[in-house]
């Protein structure tokens, strides 16, 4: 690809590679470091209406082909506004969650000045009251999107793959005024320790990410591209330049990378070196080209 600054659904990004939500938590200096290491933009850990410690451990298990987590949306809530002060004018997308449209509206309001854009987390697979109850109901997804749009910032809506038809939810986000759809959040999953005879995660159930979910993410992006008219950001198991190209061919204008950062903290520089070339073609030429 040609190395170009891009407008990713309203966000002036430095390239097509965005740090996925959650991975580097709520620490401004880690987010800043990833930007310096070549990320085109970064998404924060999801921030909600009240501070939360999250689920009891173990919260993260690294598997052969992926990562399973049940963090439980730990976050400092409104205190994160202060932390974000060091990142003004940087391409930072603030991920937010709530239990209803009013809470989404309230949390977005705290960040309306500092965020370049919002990503609505309506898709955590294991947080009672915040995840599936919201992100599997098209009317609620539409209402949450409309509520946050009142702050006049670009709104990306991150969808769960844990539904029968993801396009129903994508279309609801679009109707609510979303500027982009991010697909996908983690796949609801479980492992059991045969030695301990109990689930390995403290919360029993969690969300699977990493290479294992890449084919699911490609399928979701492909379906959403056919059903919706707003940009799609592909997320789920991307770990090399070829994965980025494949995701774009499915219909993604940009991608988010999460689990791969755990294995390689400099993944953005490494993928960027492989993906971009002085004589490369424009991304426009490949986005959606697999729709034959």
Residues with a known catalytic role: 124
The distance of closest approach from Cβ of residue 71 to ligand DOR in the complex, given in angstroms and rounded to an integer, is 3
Which of 116/203 has CB closer to ligand DOR? 203
The residue (of 6 and 159) whose beta carbon lies closer to ligand DOR is 159
Q: What is the DSSP string of 208-268?
A: EESGGGHHHHHHHHHHHHHH--S-EEEESS--SHHHHHHHHHHT-SEEEE-HHHHH-TTHH
- Smallest gap from residue 157 Cβ to ligand DOR (A): 12
Q: How far is the CB of 127 from ligand DOR (least distance, A)?
A: 6
Rounded to whole angstroms, the Cα distance separating 266 from 270 reads 6
Determine the length of the chain.
292
When CB distances to ligand DOR are compared, the closest residue is: 207
Strand partners, 81: none
Strands, sheet with 206-209, edge to edge from the N-terminal-most edge strand? 60-63, 66-69, 206-209, 187-189
Q: Is the peptide bond before 30 cis (omega within 30 degrees of 0)?
A: no
The minimum distance between CB 285 and ligand DOR, in angstroms, equals 33
- Give dist(CA 234, CA 220) in Å, integer: 9
The nearer residue to ligand DOR, 217 or 283, going by C-beta atoms, is 217
Interacting residue ranges for ligand DOR, rule: CB under 6 A = 22, 46, 69-73, 121, 123-124, 185-186, 207
Rounded-to-integer distance, Cα 86 and Cα 189, Å: 36
Nearer to ligand DOR, 11 or 70 (CB): 70
Question: Least distance from C-beta 55 to ligand DOR, angstroms?
Answer: 7
Residue 48: asked if its preceding bond is cis (omega within 30°), the reply is: no
Least distance in Å: CB of 117 to ligand DOR? Answer: 17
Q: Which is nearer to ligand DOR, 122 or 224 (CB)?
A: 122
Helices then strands, each counted (H, E), the chain: 10, 16
Half-sphere exposure of 18 (CA within 13 A, CB side): 37
Q: Reduce the DSSP state of residue 180 to 3 states and report it.
A: strand
Helix (H) or strand (E) holding 140: helix 138-149
């Amino acid at each position: 690809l040609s190395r170009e600054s891009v407008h990713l659904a309203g966000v002036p990004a430095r390239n097509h590679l965005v740090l996925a939500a959650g991975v580097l938590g709520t620490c401004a200096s880690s987010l800043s470091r990833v930007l310096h290491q070549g990320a085109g933009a970064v998404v924060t850990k999801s921030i909600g209406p009240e501070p939360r410690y999250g689920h009891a451990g173990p919260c993260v298990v690294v598997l052969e082909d992926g990562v399973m987590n049940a963090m439980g949306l730990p976050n400092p809530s409104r205190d994160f506004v202060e932390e974000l002060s060091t990142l003004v004018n940087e391409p930072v997308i603030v991920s937010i969650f709530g239990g209803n449209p009013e809470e989404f509206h309230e949390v977005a309001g705290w960040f309306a000045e500092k965020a370049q854009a919002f990503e609505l987390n309506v898709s955590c697979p294991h947080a009672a009251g915040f995840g599936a109850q919201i992100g599997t109901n098209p009317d609620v997804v539409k209402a949450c999107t409309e509520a946050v749009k009142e702050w006049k910032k670009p709104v990306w809506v991150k969808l769960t793959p844990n539904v029968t038809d993801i396009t129903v939810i994508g279309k609801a986000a679009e109707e609510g005024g979303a500027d982009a759809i991010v697909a996908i959040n983690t796949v609801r999953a479980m492992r059991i320790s045969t030695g301990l005879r109990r689930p390995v995660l403290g919360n029993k159930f969690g969300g699977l990410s990493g290479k294992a979910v890449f084919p699911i993410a490609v399928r979701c992006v492909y379906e959403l591209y056919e059903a919706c008219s707003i940009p799609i950001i592909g997320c789920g198991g991307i770990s090399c330049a070829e994965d980025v190209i494949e995701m774009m061919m499915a219909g993604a204008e940009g991608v988010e990378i999460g689990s791969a950062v755990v294995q390689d903290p400099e993944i953005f520089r490494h993928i960027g070196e492989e993906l971009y070339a002085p004589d490369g073609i424009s991304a426009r030429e490949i986005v959606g080209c697999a729709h034959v």
